[in-house]
Amino acid sequence: MMLQSRFVVVREAIAVVLRHLERLPPSDRTERLHAWLDDCRQEVEHWSDSPPTDREGETVMKRVLALHVEVTKLERAALLAVVKGSFARVNYSAE
């Protein structure tokens, strides 16, 4: 039961990160993150065939969390760029 719960939680976390990553503009960084996320997904899919040790499971979960943090940073940077661009257009239009 514990393995099934871990499997479901990690798969859902990977799906969430993937949805966020796919909304970002393409770049070398997003491509690398996508590849790392795909590695995690493949590893988790193998859990059905060969259950992970506790340490292996925790390692994958930590990697997915780290990927989530990186994607969130990229989202914030992209949002900040949009806001700065909008602010610059507003100031330019006012002159």
What is d(CA 7, CA 76) in angstroms, rounded to the nearest whole number?
A: 29
What is d(CA 6, CA 63) in angstroms, rounded to the nearest whole number?
A: 14
DSSP result, 12-81: HHHHHHHHHHHTSPP-HHHHHHHHHHHHHHHHHHGGGTSPPPHHHHHHHHHHHHHHHHHHHHHHHHHHHH
Walk along the chain (95 residues) and give the pLDDT tens digit of each residue: 466 788 899 999 999 999 999 999 999 999 999 999 999 999 999 988 898 998 999 999 999 999 999 999 999 998 887 777 655 554 544 44
User: From the CB of residue 44, how many other CB atoms can be counted at a distance below 10 Å?
Assistant: 22
pLDDT on residue 5: 83
